[in-house]
Amino acid sequence: MASVYFDHNATTALDSTVLEAMLPWMQTQSGNPTSRHSYGRRSRDAIEHARAQVAEACGAYSSQVVFTSCGTEANNFAVKGIVGIKPAVTAQQILTSAVEHPCVTRPALAMQSLGYVSRHIAVDANGKVDLEQLKSQLVKSTGLVSVMLANNETGVIQNIASIADVVRNAGAFMHTDAVQGLGKIELNFADLNVHAMTVSSHKIHGPQGAAALILDKRVDIQPLLHGGGQEKGLRSGTENVAAIVGFGAACELAIANQKHFAAHTQALREQFEQGLKSLNVTIFGDQASRLPNTSFFAIDDIEGETLVMALDRKGYAVASGSACSSDSTKPSHVLLAMGVHADIARGAVRVSFGAGNTSAQVTDFLATLSNEILRLKQLTSIAA
């Protein structure tokens, strides 16, 4: 049975061109990038070349790119580092949108042990941040606001530049998790007007184990890792040269292919969602601007996890939510924040297309999905 991968928001396959760029740093002797000899200098040059490639993809300067091991680390770095540079002002806030990934909300909660207060910003029924509520919340002393550029579950895109204007006018710092945006939509650090932005390699056909925090050079930040002083003293530890080189190569490919990716995957999504209409499903966030490749939907009276496993047995890889927090059986916090009833939220399934997916795959998937929905509803009826 053929297997079809429809879970590209979780992770992507390593591109052969990216692997080719990485292999010299995996198969032959390379030096520690801090070493002064020729081996070390070559490694350092490779890292700096990759830094320039990542910066170009993000509309930033090379000097603004700080490499990390993953998006989770970069988000923790932003949340803990920016507000942690100074002792906590009494009841100073960290504001995160109600639809953020746990790798943003949990470090914000962790900072409460140091005297900060973590609060959520509400979203509307389409998952868009409530700007009026944000303005009212910013009346209180605020150290950082973090709002993701595009949601990993619904694909809904926030107007980060407008949010950042409000945040800056209140004298707070602004961070955005742009992991899902890189390579799918146009991305420009300067235009977003934020102080810090997270991007990651494995979402764009690069290797796992490399990511970056793009940081406004005027922002003071507390290092997350102390040690040998790598990454301008902000992220100590010997760099993963091969992964960083791969990240740079993946960024170059992603930018070259971004417009084609968007057009191709949006056509697949439109075909898919047209087919969903006959199945009487709920599509989340469909009234908002979304990532072109992402569809998040639910079928009444069918658990999302049950449907995901049924589809997996038929050769289709989809998701019931975020792969990074899949240990939880609770309904999606993103959907609950959007006002979706818990019973409907439990039925949520995410399909995220990639450049290699085809219209024929979507047609076959819709037929399989229809059959599995019918089968599962019959089983539910018999059990009742």
pLDDT, residue 268, reads 98
Burial class (CB in 10 A: 0-12, 13-18, 19+), 244: buried
Q: How confident is the model at residue 384 (pLDDT cuts 50, 70, 90)?
A: low
H or E segment at 314? none
Specify the CATH superfamily of domain 4-11+258-383: Aspartate Aminotransferase, domain 1 (3.90.1150.10)
pLDDT for 37 beyond 80: yes
pLDDT at residue 2, as a whole number: 62
> pLDDT at position 86, please?
73
CA 47 vs CA 33, 51, 188, 356: distances in Å: 8, 6, 21, 29
Confirm whether 103 is a catalytic residue.
Answer: no
pLDDT value of residue 280: 86
pLDDT (tens digit per residue) in 241-292: 999 999 999 999 999 999 999 999 999 999 999 999 989 899 999 999 999 9
- Mind spelling out the 3-state secondary structure of 107-171? HHHHHHHHCCEEEEECECCCCCECHHHHHHHCCCCEEEEECCCECCCCCEECCHHHHHHHHHHCC
Rounded CA separation 50/36 (Å): 20
Could you read off the pLDDT of 281-335 as tens digits, one per residue?
999 999 999 999 999 999 988 999 999 999 999 999 999 864 455 455 689 999 9
Q: What is the mean pLDDT of the chain?
A: 94
Specify whether the CB–CB gap between 199 and 188 falls below 8 A. Answer: no
Residue 300 has a CB neighbour count (10 Å cut-off) of 12
Domain with CATH 3.90.1150.10 in the chain: 4-11+258-383
Asked whether the predicted pLDDT for residue 162 surpasses 70, the reply is yes
Tokens representing 103 are: 């790798």
160 pLDDT band, cuts 50/70/90, is: very high
As annotated, the residues of the chain forming the CATH 3.40.640.10 domain(s) are 16-252
What percent of the chain has a predicted confidence (pLDDT) above 70? 95
Query: Which one of the listed residues 58, 70, 103, 324 is annotated catalytic?
Result: 324
Indicate the CATH number of 16-252 among 3.20.20.70, 3.40.640.10, 3.90.1150.170, 3.40.50.2300. Answer: 3.40.640.10
Query: What is the distance between the alpha carbons of residues 15 and 96, in angstroms, rounded to a whole number?
Result: 34
Please tell me the pTM assigned to this model: 0.95
> Which residue(s) pair with 5 in the sheet?
317
**Where are any strands of DSSP class E within 243-287?**
282-283
Asked if residue 89 has pLDDT above 70, the reply is no
